[in-house]
Structure 1
């Protein structure tokens, strides 16, 4: 039994559809699917198991903690850790058969030393910084760095990568990054070094920057049915995988002049009927949506009134015919002909769709619409257990 009155529903059929779209988009290029941050709030274990059934080439995660958690589910698909780490984590990286991104000789030497003790050859990827300025060796210095790594006998440079910071807004800069990476790869090959994979194409890179040098695509956002840039929906048919649902827990009539929520930012200008919903910023519904967003009730838009509080919001249901306790509410998704999408909420909250789904999905219990219920370790009703304030 799902005891929560607010939950995120994850459509695994949509995930499978989106993966197949991405696979076709990538063509002959191998594909690495990013499922870090609990699969952007969609739940890492079920998403990973589906991807394995779909024969994904690589899985991308952020760090060692995520990598160990995935390995403990029994999945053996190659896993790339995007975030470089400290030498002290070298043992676990090798023991759990994870592929690290290496940006320092200290980490490389620690990996090589432990791999040699275990009689192992460890694949690594090197990040060349072409403009993100966050992690990685500057692309001008990357060739010398890779030459030094090549002397470590128990490491193999399997891939070299960079990251696009503005693929959705600055085409010229992104093209320049691709050119810098291309020149680096050419120099590596001229030096007699073989690096099998070259990658940089996130969702926007895959959709908008076809090129010959990149041979490993690594989309993330589009797997979940979200677009990195408005307008792409006209070219690529994705299905949103997450919807968020709730129910009315309280109704009241308020008169003109009454105030609602903290700070009394909303004062009624007319008599109204309002409903209280059990979702707030503790559930990932951003406070920046206060007085801006709509929810869907009875197939109609109902505005959020006043400030979002920790556990509840109040909405105007004056236009709803016969509102009642327990009435279904859609916070994110479609109801009838109306819809509230992550991009809409992101614009209202001055953020990005990533934050919308990560925030809601990481804090609400998740209910899965399954491709095949027997493929997943869940309860007999196909629902993953959890409380409103904890990850399932």
Structure 2
């Protein structure tokens, strides 16, 4: 590794922007003729929001989606002028910022709508908003039976236009649930029918909205009728499986690799306890490599975490992951020394550790695995 590439904090994430572009291009092809909104909330699922957004737009995305208004402002400050939908709540005291930044805001209360209308009137502009409907997540959104009256009330306000209506599926990534085959599919279909009923009721009331969207990544793949004229895809943009039950189609490529370095290699005798809690004891003279990564970097603290790649081979993690350091057994891998590159997620040689593998060992999902890589880990774009 060249000295120019040696980070001050010796753990880093590499993001393959060509993979992001490729995945966006594939999503746009699947979604067509609908437009594509790619979700870049939570720092683009840990990949870095600004560069990921630019790559997604180059690949064919029409919209970007974020959760918080501040995430949208970050993109605007990076001179990204594509339409941005803020899917999270609009705090009335910050409505003016959202309108100033030409963000498309989500509404589900009259307090929000009035604040946005007031801000737009003060700025002499017309604000665009999307109406969120709760069809079965029990999170944000108006209830389906309230949607028409709510939309009518909003339309009475000046300088605010309801441009779209959307909902979010709870089970599109889980076809089977509770041991019942097809339960998740049935639940998703019920949500979809509720959403279609809301659209029909709005149209019957003379409220014809430009955008209707409910298809997340798994629904984009498996429920074509839910694509309407805009799809919202997150996890597939990053080349990750929507769930173990809904694998990605051929051609999508993981964009993220998580890497660190060896700080020290030492030989310890049989019977040596390793790390906090003495949860691991060596059963032979062992070559231990100490890695410069820990749970402070988002490399989760859990016994039996799994394996990492060194010299293209798998090495087991031994003992508990510390805040800044992790120990691995490299007894069976020749020539490991300080400064060697170690892959935590990604490919090295012929071996690969996918985010899905790490998630399974941790008892979580791949979304959390990549999103929780901490801010102190440098993002590098290749």
For normalisation by structure 2, the TM-score amounts to 0.93
Tell me which of 53, 68, 73 is aligned to 2:78.
73
State yes or no: 1:368 paired with 2:381: yes
Q: CA deviation at 1:114?
A: 2.1
The Cα RMSD (Å) is 1.5
Tell me which of 22, 37, 48 is aligned to 1:17.
22
Indicate how the Cα distance of structure 1 residues 212 and 259 shifts in structure 2: closer, same or farther if over 3 A, else same: closer
How far apart in 2 are the matches of 1:351 and 1:229? 11
State yes or no: 1:153 paired with 2:158: yes
Q: CA deviation at 1:252?
A: 1.1
> Retained in 2: the 8 A contact 1:281–1:309?
yes
> Retained in 2: the 8 A contact 1:42–1:361?
no
> Retained in 1: the 8 A contact 2:296–2:324?
yes
Q: Provide Cα deviations, 1:69-118, integer angstroms capped at 9, x if missing partner.
A: 11111111111001012211111111111111001101101111221232
Indicate how the Cα distance of structure 1 residues 262 and 212 shifts in structure 2: closer, same or farther if over 3 A, else same: closer
State yes or no: 1:267 paired with 2:272: no
> Retained in 2: the 8 A contact 1:182–1:213?
no
Aligned length: 368
Tell me which of 97, 103, 106 is aligned to 1:101.
106
1:374 corresponds to which residue?
A: none
State yes or no: 1:230 paired with 2:230: no
How far apart in 2 are the matches of 1:117 and 1:325? 61
Q: Secondary structure of the equivalent of 1:305? A: coil
| Residues 1-392 of structure 1 mapped to structure 2, 5 A cutoff | 1=4, 2-3=6-7, 4-169=9-174, 170-211=184-225, 214-230=228-244, 232-233=246-247, 235-288=249-302, 290-360=303-373, 362-369=375-382
Q: CA deviation at 1:154?
A: 1.2
> Retained in 1: the 8 A contact 2:13–2:378?
yes
1:381 corresponds to which residue?
A: none
> Retained in 1: the 8 A contact 2:263–2:291?
yes
Q: Provide Cα deviations, 1:283-302, integer angstroms capped at 9, x if missing partner.
A: 010113x3231001121110
Q: Secondary structure of the equivalent of 2:250? A: coil
Q: Secondary structure of the equivalent of 1:123? A: strand
> Retained in 1: the 8 A contact 2:260–2:291?
yes
> Retained in 2: the 8 A contact 1:42–1:362?
no
> Retained in 2: the 8 A contact 1:159–1:198?
yes
1:384 corresponds to which residue?
A: none
> Retained in 1: the 8 A contact 2:242–2:248?
no
How far apart in 2 are the matches of 1:52 and 1:295? 33
Q: CA deviation at 1:13?
A: 0.8
How far apart in 1 are the matches of 2:278 and 2:272? 9
Q: Secondary structure of the equivalent of 2:161? A: strand
Q: CA deviation at 1:356?
A: 1.1
Q: CA deviation at 1:362?
A: 3.5
Q: Provide Cα deviations, 1:159-204, integer angstroms capped at 9, x if missing partner.
A: 1111112211111101110000001101111111111111111111
> Retained in 2: the 8 A contact 1:162–1:199?
yes
